[in-house]
Structure 1
Amino acid sequence: MKVTPLHPDGTECTHAVSPSGKPRAPDAGCACRRNYAVVCSACGTVGEPHGLRVLAEPEQRQHRDNHKAAPAPASH
């Protein structure tokens, strides 16, 4: 489970950014980071994107805890 930075158009941002959130390389074609989405490998995107990473982290933690609390399927 991860918190994924998103461009304004909703695509994942993998560009290197400065502490301000602006691209380190202006010619990289990055439109800056706008939102952060919680992405679960089993469930996909969880909830709505958040404007700040610190706001996405509680949702990430809660979703992870829900997985831990779910009973494991019985194996045959």
Structure 2
Amino acid sequence: MARISVKVIPLHPDRTECTHAVSPSGKPRDPNAGCAGRRNYAVVCSACGPVGEPHGLRVLAEPAQSKHRHNHKASPTPATR
């Protein structure tokens, strides 16, 4: 079975992924980078794709990340005799 990853991805205001270095306020450290800053955080599963709607704060996205990851855990199989 393939390993599934569930990540929180920072997004620009136009909902594209932000990979730029940013300050704690979410604004880009390099003003010439062409980054509009981070606006939202999306939960993305490697098997399911985007999960739910983007969240305004990373701390709000983390419970959704944990909940979705928990949904992928395999259910225990009963022991056979």
Q: Partner residue of 1:65?
A: 70
Change (3 A) 1:70 1:42: farther
Q: Unmatched 5+ residue regions in structure 2? A: 1-5
Scaled by the length of structure 2, the TM-score of the pair is: 0.83
* Runs of 4+ with deviation above 4 angstroms: 69-72
- Aligned-residue Cα RMSD (Å) equals 1.5
1:45 maps to amino acid: P
Q: Could you tell me which runs of 5 or more consecutive residues in structure 1 were left unpaired when the two chains were aligned.
A: none
Picking from 25, 35, 42, the partner of 2:30 is 25
Is 1:45 matched up with 2:54? no
* Larger Rg, first or second structure (1 or 2): 2
Provide Cα deviations, 1:28-49, integer angstroms capped at 9, x if missing partner.
0000101000000000000000
Sequence identity percentage: 82
Q: Which has the higher helix share?
A: 1
